């Protein structure tokens, strides 16, 4: 093989004297999938922004593309140098067609008028090559997340990029969509593209990575070749210490066995949830597994009154309760952590203090209305200490925190209400390894103190690692339940068997 | 590798992150100060500029009194508008509500026996219209722009109906002092128009509600992220009805202030395009048009800028036509400057 397609030597970036990136080397070859790993704040995004041209590296470093020194200036510099980035939050215009999106900024015009037919014709072969099941005229807003990603890739290929950077591409994808994406990535590698793949998910890195480079605190920790790629090695490189017990399950689910704290009885919404019953006991962590689209989040939304129930009812501590709004759910002692913390959870412009106290302002207020600011400050400071939230102080805005710290702020809001039932929807999505293990401890400690916990997760090792019992959903129904026995630990095969299921359940 | 390598590096990185954190707080604090001060420098600059351009006629006790009085009604409307815009909404109907409230108040003031009740009647009229706006927006989920655009027209019509499309006079209106008298602070030296006292009280109470009560945080939360607010258990509909109710109530109060000042009201002319001045004051004050960020003190400064501009341009003898052009350009320029300075913040 010829020389590397991308070579970075001694690249640094300082912001106001603080190193975001210090003397980092990165070598990427054509036809290689190069996984880039590191905790949030390790410098991955800074590195990407340098390659895209959003940041200019500090003098002293060198970037070579195909052996020639390259200068990447301005937001279009990366694309001009043959580098395309597919961001976690896709950057497509949902109101435009696939072809218009691919040609965005480089539209073809004929005598000043948009030449839609030429653009369509130019995009068609590309979509065929990628195996797309939609046409150039389709509106992007009608596409699934997986299909949108395909459009992003088509846009990169159309710009004749030689280096494709993908930032956590599977975050929003279902299992099937992820599989198709992996196949496509392997196809692109075979076609000679260099792919830099950023992910927190170890299984993806195993499946795809030809080489792994790990960053920590803005420095290069090292690179591993395919045979050396092992989970414990990577985790050790990322966190700089051994993560002895990553998952934590110290609580005893039998400690307070009594009647269930939460019971959902045959609830349905007439669309996605078709009559589901489940129970959660005090001090127990129950997993809710299933494929994306199985109706897990919809079920949670029914329980907390975020969407209307058409039949069934909810019982808390044996008594039927009426829950029509999330506020009434909180009153009944049920707190819900959303899977989409930015869109549905946090107030990014508000301080951590306000974010943490939001659900208990009324309870803590003086005379029912006047804010008790001392109490709020104490509550936030306590949350910072017990959950290990890393921010300068409780007054900083939530939008500026890393994913893990944002998640902990949101968790603090729920815990401040001292809930009887905690429903956690993808509690570790988009969270780095260190914070993940801290969140597992928080969940374990809450169970120890008697909270009934329902964890929705697509990460099966996580479910197995922290749950006492797993309920599996398929096509809007409970497909099965697996309890952990003394001799039969939970395993992925059983869960997947229920989740995929040989027979159709939605025949009704 | 030397034995103390990693721990040294760790200490260094910890120190660096501490410095980074300290710098970040400093920067955040600075940003807050800039946010709070906002357009204050622009206001002061305008005052000083007009003082020189008008041969030192700006900074006189009498002229400042006039500016404060002229700013009063708009300040009250803009305070209500701040509540609404903080939730990410808009209230285009305040000018019409002001007219309807003034008409209702004047009509009652001419009735025997109950005449002195005209003031609460005016304020309540405003509240009723505001709550209707809020109910349509919160319960029927209609867009605020459309709802209040509709009531801008409909309420204007009602205001004309109230006086049978004539001007209602009442030279003996009770509480006329709030419109024309001043509160003496130091006898013979300093006094402040009652209208301005009311306006300042409204700002103060608004600030207390927004910053010191549970409801205040909920208003910011709804503006910052309505879906998250709903999931966090906030009664979004209640918050929306409240803010439009406040906006209507304060428009009613503005109507009462105008009625007391003019001893008269005309359903057709009173309060025409007042909503635009109120919105301008809020935006000049640094409140984000998409909601969630802003302060009512900024609104006060915004309202004062508008009043100072009108007053100063008259003092310097600029023609009425050019006043429009200059006012418009200053508003665009001031906000552009503000946005430019705050580019680092999460949203505008």
Going along chain B from its start, the domains and CATH numbers come out as 38-341 (1.10.3470)
Q: For residue B228, give the nearest of A329, A347, A357 by CB distance.
A: A347
Chain B contact for A74, CB < 8 A?
A: no
Report if residue A506 sits inside a domain. no
- Parallel/antiparallel/unpaired status of strands A163-167 and A194-198: parallel
As a whole number of angstroms, the distance between CA B153 and CA B332 comes to: 27
As a whole number of angstroms, the distance between CA A426 and CA A456 comes to: 6
**pLDDT at residue A445 tops 60:** yes
Pair (A460, A397) in one structural domain: no
In this prediction, residue A196 carries a pLDDT of 94
Which chain B residue's Cα is nearest to A325?
Answer: B233
* Dihedral sign, Cα of residue A246, residue A250, residue A254, residue A257: negative
Annotate B182-210 with b (16+ C-beta within 10 A) or e (fewer): beeeeeeeeebbbbbebbbebbeebbebb
* Inter-residue contact A205 to A199 (CB < 8 Å): yes
Pair (A103, A201) in one structural domain: yes
In this prediction, residue B28 carries a pLDDT of 62
**pLDDT at residue A454 tops 90:** yes
Max distance between CA atoms of chain B, in angstroms, equals: 97
As a whole number of angstroms, the distance between CA A152 and CA A140 comes to: 11
Classify residue A133 as exposed, middle or buried by CB count within 10 Å of its CB (0-12, 13-18, 19+): exposed
Choose the mutation target among B214, B220, B222, B294 for the interface with A, i.e. most A CBs under 10 Å. Answer: B214
As a whole number of angstroms, the distance between CA B61 and CA A137 comes to: 68
CA B132: distance to chain centroid? 20
Q: For residue B231, give the nearest of A217, A326, A397 by CB distance.
A: A326
As a whole number of angstroms, the distance between CA A136 and CA A17 comes to: 48
Chain B contact for A239, CB < 8 A?
A: no
* Phi, psi (deg, nearest 5) at residue B129: -60, -40
Encode pLDDT of A109-168 as tens digits. Answer: 777 777 788 888 888 888 888 888 899 999 988 888 888 888 988 888 888 889 999 988
**pLDDT at residue B45 tops 50:** yes
In this prediction, residue A41 carries a pLDDT of 66
In chain B, pLDDT over 90 holds for what percent of residues?
66
Report if residue A438 sits inside a domain. no
Pair (A34, A82) in one structural domain: yes
Pair (A136, A171) in one structural domain: yes
In this prediction, residue B129 carries a pLDDT of 98
As a whole number of angstroms, the distance between CA B285 and CA B288 comes to: 9
pLDDT band at A412 (very low <50, low <70, confident <90, very high): very high
Q: How far is CA A309 from CA A33, A175, A302, A360, in A?
A: 46, 28, 6, 26
**Short-list B313, B6, B269, B256, CA closest to B124:** B256
Pair (A411, A456) in one structural domain: no
Pair (A188, A108) in one structural domain: yes
**pLDDT at residue B18 tops 80:** no
Which residue matches tokens 């990447």?
A: A72
Report if residue A384 sits inside a domain. yes
Pair (A142, A38) in one structural domain: yes
Pair (A34, A172) in one structural domain: yes
Chain A CB contacts of B290 under 8 Å are none
Q: How confident is the prediction for chain A on average, in pLDDT?
A: 87
Tokens, residue A127 = 């979509």
Q: How far is CA A217 from CA A39, A46, A220, B9, B129, in A?
A: 9, 11, 8, 10, 58
Tokens, residue A268 = 């349905």
Pair (A66, A110) in one structural domain: yes
Pair (A187, A274) in one structural domain: no
Encode pLDDT of A257-299 as tens digits. Answer: 788 999 999 999 988 899 999 999 999 999 999 877 789 999 9
> Lowest-pLDDT range, A446-460, A482-496, B285-299?
A482-496
DSSP for residue A57? P
**pLDDT at residue A241 tops 90:** no
Domain coverage including residue A359: 340-418
Radius of gyration of chain A (CA): 25
Pair (A73, A25) in one structural domain: yes
Domains of chain A: total: 3
**pLDDT at residue A46 tops 80:** yes
| Partner residues linked to A452 by β-bridges | A421
Total Cβ atoms within 10 A of residue A259: 11
In this prediction, residue A508 carries a pLDDT of 36
As a whole number of angstroms, the distance between CA B124 and CA B122 comes to: 6
Q: For residue B232, give the nearest of A240, A358, A396 by CB distance.
A: A358
* Inter-residue contact A448 to A283 (CB < 8 Å): yes
**pLDDT at residue B81 tops 90:** yes
CB contact under 8 A, A18 and B19: yes
* Inter-residue contact B3 to B268 (CB < 8 Å): no
Report if residue A192 sits inside a domain. yes
CA B229: distance to chain centroid? 24
Last residue of a domain, one of A204, A239, A274: A239
Annotate B216-253 with b (16+ C-beta within 10 A) or e (fewer): bbbbbbbbbbbebbbbbbbbbbebbbbbbbbbbbbbbb
**Short-list A487, A488, A414, A416, CA closest to A454:** A414
3-state class of A11 per DSSP? strand
Mean pLDDT across B137-164: 95
Chain A contact for B346, CB < 8 A?
A: yes
**pLDDT at residue A438 tops 50:** yes
CATH code where residue A423 lies: 3.40.50.300
As a whole number of angstroms, the distance between CA B215 and CA B218 comes to: 5
Report if residue A440 sits inside a domain. no
> Lowest-pLDDT range, A242-246, A407-411, B182-186, B336-340?
A242-246
* Dihedral sign, Cα of residue A468, residue A423, residue A323, residue A310: negative
Report if residue A508 sits inside a domain. no
Q: What contacts 24+ positions apart, CB below 8 Å, involve B59-64? A: B61/B190, B63/B311, B63/B315
ipTM of the complex model? 0.80
CB contact under 8 A, A349 and B292: yes
Q: How confident is the prediction for chain B on average, in pLDDT?
A: 88
Encode pLDDT of A65-123 as tens digits. Answer: 988 888 887 767 888 888 988 877 667 888 888 988 888 877 777 777 777 888 888 88
Encode pLDDT of A339-353 as tens digits. Answer: 889 889 999 989 999
Pair (A232, A255) in one structural domain: no
DSSP for residue A142? G
Q: For residue B28, give the nearest of A325, A330, A396 by CB distance.
A: A396
């Amino acid at each position: 093989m010829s020389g590397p397609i991308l070579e970075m030597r001694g690249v640094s970036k300082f912001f106001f004297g603080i190193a975001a990136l210090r003397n980092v080397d990165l070598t990427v070859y054509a036809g290689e999938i190069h996984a880039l790993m590191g905790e949030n704040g390790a410098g991955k995004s800074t590195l990407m922004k340098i390659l895209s041209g959003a940041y200019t590296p500090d003098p002293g470093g060198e970037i070579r593309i195909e052996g020639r020194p390259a200068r990447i200036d301005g937001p279009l510099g990366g694309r001009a140098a043959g580098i395309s980035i597919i961001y976690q939050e896709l950057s497509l215009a949902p109101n435009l067609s696939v072809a218009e999106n691919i040609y965005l900024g480089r539209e073809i015009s004929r005598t000043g008028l948009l030449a839609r037919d030429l653009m369509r014709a130019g995009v068609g072969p590309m979509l065929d090559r990628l195996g797309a099941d939609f046409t150039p005229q389709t509106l992007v807003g009608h596409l699934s997340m997986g299909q949108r990603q395909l459009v992003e890739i088509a846009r990169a290929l159309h710009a004749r990029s030689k280096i494709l950077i993908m930032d956590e591409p599977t975050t929003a994808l279902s299992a099937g969509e992820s599989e198709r994406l992996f196949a496509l990535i392997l196809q692109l590698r075979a076609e000679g593209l260099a792919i830099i793949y950023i992910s927190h998910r170890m299984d993806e890195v195993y499946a795809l990575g030809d080489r792994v480079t790990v960053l920590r605190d803005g420095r290069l920790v090292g690179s591993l070749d395919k045979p050396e790629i092992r989970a414990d090695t990577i985790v050790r490189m990322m966190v700089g210490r051994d993560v002895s017990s990553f998952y934590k399950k110290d609580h005893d689910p039998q400690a307070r066995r009594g009647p269930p704290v939460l019971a959902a009885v045959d609830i349905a919404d007439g669309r996605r949830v078709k009559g589901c019953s489940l129970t959660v006991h005090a001090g127990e962590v129950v997993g809710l597994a299933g494929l994306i689209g199985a109706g897990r989040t919809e079920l949670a939304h029914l329980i907390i009154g975020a969407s209307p129930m058409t039949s069934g009812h909810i019982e808390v501590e044996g008594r039927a309760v009426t829950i029509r709004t999330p506020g009434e759910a909180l009153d009944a002692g049920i707190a819900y952590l959303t899977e989409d913390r930015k869109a549905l959870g946090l107030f990014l412009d508000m301080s951590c203090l306000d974010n943490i106290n939001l659900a208990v302002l009324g309870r803590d207020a003086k005379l029912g209305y006047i804010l008790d600011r001392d109490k709020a400050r104490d509550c936030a400071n306590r949350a910072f200490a017990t959950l290990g939230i890393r921010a300068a102080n409780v007054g900083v805005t939530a939008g500026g925190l890393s994913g893990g710290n944002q998640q902990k702020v949101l968790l603090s809001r729920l815990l401040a209400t001292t809930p009887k039932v905690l429903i956690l929807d993808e509690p570790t999505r988009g969270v780095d390894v260190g914070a993940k293990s801290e969140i597992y401890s928080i969940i374990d400690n809450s169970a120890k103190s008697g909270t009934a916990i329902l964890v929705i997760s697509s990460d099966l090792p996580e479910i197995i690692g922290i749950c006492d019992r797993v309920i599996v959903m398929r096509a809007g129904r409970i497909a099965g339940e697996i309890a952990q026995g003394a001799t039969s630990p939970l395993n992925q095969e059983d869960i997947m068997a229920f989740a995929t299921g040989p027979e159709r359940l939605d025949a009704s | 590798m030397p034995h103390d390598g990693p721990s040294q590096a760790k200490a260094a990185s910890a120190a660096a992150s501490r410095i980074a954190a300290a710098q970040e707080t400093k920067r955040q604090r600075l940003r807050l100060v800039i946010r709070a001060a906002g357009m204050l420098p622009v206001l002061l600059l305008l005052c000083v500029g007009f003082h020189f351009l008008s041969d030192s006629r700006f900074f006189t006790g009498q002229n400042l009194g006039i500016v404060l009085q002229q700013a009063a009604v708009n300040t009250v409307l803009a305070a209500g508008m701040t509540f609404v815009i903080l939730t990410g909404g808009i209230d285009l109907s305040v000018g019409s509500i002001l007219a309807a409230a003034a008409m209702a108040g004047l009509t009652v003031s001419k009735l025997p026996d109950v005449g002195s009740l005209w003031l609460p009647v005016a304020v309540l009229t405003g509240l009723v219209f505001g709550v209707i706006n809020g109910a349509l927006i919160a319960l029927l989920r209609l867009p605020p722009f459309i709802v209040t655009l509709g009531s801008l027209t409909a309420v204007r019509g009602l205001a004309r109906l109230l006086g049978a499309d004539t001007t209602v006079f009442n030279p003996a209106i009770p509480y006329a002092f709030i419109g024309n008298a001043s509160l003496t602070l130091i006898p013979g030296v300093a006094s402040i128009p009652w209208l301005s006292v009311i306006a300042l009280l409204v700002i103060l109470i608004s600030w207390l509600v927004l910053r010191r009560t549970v409801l205040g945080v909920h208003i910011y939360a709804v503006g910052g992220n309505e879906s998250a607010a709903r999931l966090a258990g906030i009664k979004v509909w209640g918050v929306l009805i409240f803010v439009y109710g406040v906006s209507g109530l304060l428009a009613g109060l503005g109507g009462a202030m105008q009625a007391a000042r003019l001893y008269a009201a005309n359903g057709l002319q009173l309060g025409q395009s007042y909503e635009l001045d109120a919105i301008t004051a809020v935006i000049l004050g640094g409140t984000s048009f998409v909601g969630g960020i802003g302060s009512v003190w900024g609104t006060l400064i915004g309202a004062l800028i508008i009043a100072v501009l009108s007053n100063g341009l008259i003092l310097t003898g600029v023609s009425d036509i050019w006043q429009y052009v200059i006012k418009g350009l200053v508003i665009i320029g001031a906000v552009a400057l503000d946005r430019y300075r705050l580019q680092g913040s999460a949203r505008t």
